[in-house]
Amino acid sequence: MREASIKARDLAAVAVATGPGTFTGLRVGLSIAKGFVLARDIPIIGVPTLEIAAASFPPGTPLVAVLPAGRGRVVWQRFGDGHDEGPVNTTVPELVEALAGMPDVPVTGEMPEVHRATIEAAHPLVDWRSRDPAVLLWLARERWRRGDVDDPVTLEPTYLHGVAVTAGPVQDRLRRRKQ
């Protein structure tokens, strides 16, 4: 904020990525965001990380957004073609198997090189793109303009690991594929 010459009193709302992502990164980021929100009594807008990755494509474009989950796992979600399921936590081979049934659906997101090569070898449409913080802000601003803000008390991060992966008290946004 200092580099941008912004003071806390200048904030009208706070946008934060809710994950999936790293445990510590999500906890710290959400805690800082909630601190500003509660101190200034301003709205908070949480945006799922995979939505940020998918937003680099035109709205409604069928695609699969994917992020690394560590330990050989990935988190991915299908967007834009009526599939309403939340993020899926699988291994890379399980993702490749799922992609076999979606040959015309592009894959985007961020992956380590070793996983990129595996996915690229098995799927014809891959367009790796890094997430842009400006996209988070744009998505949050659009929600804020519609009055679609989150409750800072119940807004919680979506985590990547664990058998009982949950996204908070309202709903479980991450389902784990059976191995």
What does the domain layout of the chain look like in residue ranges?
8-49+131-167, 53-122
Q: Is the pLDDT of residue 162 over 60?
A: no
Is domain 8-49+131-167 classified as CATH 3.30.420.40?
A: yes
> What pLDDT digit, counting tens, does each position of 44-59 carry?
999 999 999 999 899 8
The CATH code that applies to domain 53-122 is: 3.30.420
**Please, what sign has the CA dihedral across residues 4, 18, 159, 52?**
negative
The pLDDT of 144-168, averaged and rounded, is 76
Same fold, 8-49+131-167 and 53-122: yes
- And the tokens for 179? 């191995």
